Chains A and B, each alone.
Chain A
Amino acid sequence: MTFLTLDHLQKSFGPTRVVHDFDLGVEKGEFVSFLGPSGCGKTTVLRMVAGFETPTAGRVVIDGRDVTRLRPNQRQIGMVFQSYALFPNLTVAENVGFGLRTAGVPRAERAGRVAEMLALIGLPDLGGRYPWQLSGGQQQRVALARALAPRPRVLLLDEPLSALDAKIRVSLRNQIREIQQQLAITTIFVTHDQEEALSISDRIVVMHKGIADQTGTPAQIYNQPATDFVAGFVGTLNRFEAEVLDPARGLVRVEGAEIALDRPLPAGRITLAARPESLRIAAEGIPAEITGVEFLGSVQRLRARAAGREVVLDRFNEPGVALPQPGAQVRLAAAQAGWLVLPG
């Protein structure tokens, strides 16, 4: 039995169905990210867990108890909003202590817990300030402390980092992950930033048009995308049309180059794909012409034209090795495991 279970959740606003049959089990202490394009229903699912939306069908179960009919203030959930949503009339300490106050925790005990939370987020001295006296990153950390102070059973974060600038985003996401692991709190984190999801999650749910397309560890999502959508949405992907020569042995041909995949394939034509870092320049392989070279420091990004399409390949910088020049004719290959066969 999982700690948080979303059991066949559905949600319609009027005639439009926004969430179709969403099924998910989250283990205690697990960090799960919802990743998907704008409008795919991430927030809606999260709000059903929090209790702000009532599911059209399905159940939300926390720790074995069906909470689908409970109001948000009875669910013991912590929530962090994209816009921070700190109460402007209360100091940082009062904000953090809010959930304790509504729970009737005595003042002295409250003060201790607030100090503890402020120390946890690394802002021990800012308790007396008002929200407008804090930077965006500080406000969001206070919001996190506020959500965690009453020891919620589940923590929900709805794009908590997207209002912040890039640098703070990275450091704050690591801090969120650290605190989450330290407290071992069951967490759902909504984002549309794949790097964010890949870097801090135990598991990722890739959502698309109200459906969970794939649920898996970051490595699974990246290396073994279950659907065409997941493959295209997470990371960059180079696609090639391939003709299957021998379905049983997995031999295909792309632009005259034969590639042995060593796995059973359907007959006819398939789409092959490879991540930029899987492709390399080799003696044998798919013929291509280099069209551009970007030097990104540790990585070199080469753009090429192969089989009538734009192709990107990344390789690590090696000081002794010269960059290929635009216009150079090369051949592209990948290790067997680097080739993805896309469904459909």
Chain B
Amino acid sequence: MRQIGWNWLGVLPFFAFALLFLVLPTMNIVIGAFQNPQGEFTLANLAGLASPRIVSSFAISIKISLASALLGCLIGFAMAAAVVMGGVPGWIKGPLMTFSGVASNFAGVPLAFAFIATLGRVGLVTMLLRQWFGINIYAMGFNLLSFWGLTLTYLFFQIPLMILIITPALEGLKREWREAAEVLGASTFQYWRMVALPILFPSLLGTFALLFANSFGAVATAYALTGSSLSIVPIMLFAQIRGDVLQDPHLGYAMAFGMIVVTGLANLAYVVMRARAERWMQ
């Protein structure tokens, strides 16, 4: 009994820290979302989320996060597969992984600057397209401060993150599985559908959930890129915390709660699907 007490003491600092600076603050927001200014229980805040402005901000945020996570997964997968099994020279892998390590952490304000300098109105690519090919992407309706602009920017850290996570998983596919499938008459497509993808499924799903949460909670890039002109959820919440633009602090809590629910659901979906996919794992 005393032994157990002592053992727990060893992890006390960790739990105290997690409680004070992670769990309690989050709980506080969640509780705040269900309280009125007098501290009484209410569902009015959540009902307030149904205002068109907030609904549309969630809709566009979810759209951007889905698109950047999906594209990030697809493109990252293609690049990782090219390096692992695509028959390109082996030396490419090292630099690609190093670069992915860097780029996956190159988020936030400087990333926005980089894309403004590249695809902004006077950015390099914008200018070159106009001068060399006569294509004016802005006249064609492109705008960096838009759904596609933001998605394109987020991909800069989403793709490398996918590469970093999926490359080891791809390398874990044994050559014998492929050969066994082939000798049993499977085409390349059948091998992927029946063997490789199901084996990779948990990793793919987990990465997708991570990428989704990653872009759903991203504030800095969007803020530096668009100011407050694009009403995605984190930007609106940012403005709310700074200046109570919703004129109702508790509506802010409800919004933050909504964010937790969305990322939480994404990860819950992952956990459930993973559990189902993992019957065959130890």
Q: Which residues from A are CB-within-8-Å of B186?
A: 73, 98, 102
| A150 in the interface (beta carbon within 8 A) | yes
| A210 in the interface (beta carbon within 8 A) | no
Partner of B198, one of A51, A89, A99, A103: A89
| B42 in the interface (beta carbon within 8 A) | no
Binary CB contact string for chain B from 170 to 181 against chain A (1 if under 8 A, 0 otherwise): 000010110111
| B190 in the interface (beta carbon within 8 A) | yes
| A271 in the interface (beta carbon within 8 A) | no
| A77 in the interface (beta carbon within 8 A) | yes
Q: Are B177 and A150 in contact (CB under 8 A)?
A: no
| A3 in the interface (beta carbon within 8 A) | no
Q: Are A85 and B179 in contact (CB under 8 A)?
A: yes
| A72 in the interface (beta carbon within 8 A) | yes
| A81 in the interface (beta carbon within 8 A) | yes
Known A73-B186, A99-B185, A102-B190; judge A85-B280 contact (CB<8 A).
no
Select from chain B the residue with minimum beta-carbon distance to A82: B176
Q: Are A81 and B179 in contact (CB under 8 A)?
A: yes
Q: Which residues from A are CB-within-8-Å of B185?
A: 73-74, 76, 99, 102-103, 150
Select from chain B the residue with minimum beta-carbon distance to A130: B280
| B199 in the interface (beta carbon within 8 A) | yes
| B282 in the interface (beta carbon within 8 A) | yes
Q: Are A146 and B199 in contact (CB under 8 A)?
A: no
The CA-CA distance from A230 to B181 in the complex, in Å, is 36
Q: Which of A74, A76, A91, A99 gathers the greatest number of chain B CB atoms within 10 Å?
A: A99
Select from chain B the residue with minimum beta-carbon distance to A158: B176
Q: Are A77 and B183 in contact (CB under 8 A)?
A: yes
| B279 in the interface (beta carbon within 8 A) | yes
| B281 in the interface (beta carbon within 8 A) | yes
Q: Are A132 and B280 in contact (CB under 8 A)?
A: yes
Binary CB contact string for chain A from 102 to 126 against chain B (1 if under 8 A, 0 otherwise): 1100000000000000000000000
Q: Which residues from B are CB-within-8-Å of A147?
A: 183-184
The CA-CA distance from A86 to B187 in the complex, in Å, is 17
Number of A interface residues at 8 Å Cβ cutoff, please give it: 33
| A79 in the interface (beta carbon within 8 A) | yes
| A52 in the interface (beta carbon within 8 A) | yes
| B194 in the interface (beta carbon within 8 A) | yes
| B246 in the interface (beta carbon within 8 A) | no
Partner of A99, one of B174, B176, B179, B184: B184
Q: Are A85 and B195 in contact (CB under 8 A)?
A: no
The CA-CA distance from A146 to B190 in the complex, in Å, is 17
Binary CB contact string for chain B from 150 to 193 against chain A (1 if under 8 A, 0 otherwise): 00000000000000000000000010110111111111001000
Known A98-B194, A130-B280, A132-B282; judge A87-B176 contact (CB<8 A).
no
Q: Which of A89, A90, A130, A132 gathers the greatest number of chain B CB atoms within 10 Å?
A: A89
Give, as a whole number of angstroms, the nearest-CB distance from A76 to chain B: 8
The CA-CA distance from A128 to B169 in the complex, in Å, is 26
Q: Which residues from A are CB-within-8-Å of B183?
A: 50-51, 72-73, 75, 77-79, 147
Partner of A146, one of B176, B184, B187, B194: B184
Partner of B279, one of A77, A79, A130: A130
| A101 in the interface (beta carbon within 8 A) | yes
Select from chain B the residue with minimum beta-carbon distance to A104: B185
> Could you tell me which residues of chain A, from 265 to 300, have a CB within 8 Å of some CB in chain B?
none
Binary CB contact string for chain B from 261 to 282 against chain A (1 if under 8 A, 0 otherwise): 0000000000000000001111
Q: Which residues from B are CB-within-8-Å of A102?
A: 181, 184-187, 190
Binary CB contact string for chain A from 125 to 164 against chain B (1 if under 8 A, 0 otherwise): 0000011100000000001001100100000000000000
Residues of B within 8 A of A (CB): 174, 176-177, 179-187, 190, 194-195, 198-199, 279-282
Residues of A within 8 A of B (CB): 50-52, 71-79, 81, 83, 85-91, 98-99, 101-103, 130-132, 143, 146-147, 150
Enumerate 9 A-B pairs (CB-CB under 8 Å) in ascending A order: A72-B179, A73-B186, A75-B183, A79-B180, A87-B177, A89-B199, A99-B184, A102-B184, A131-B280
Minimum-distance CB pairs A-B, first 5: A85-B176, A99-B184, A102-B185, A89-B198, A130-B280
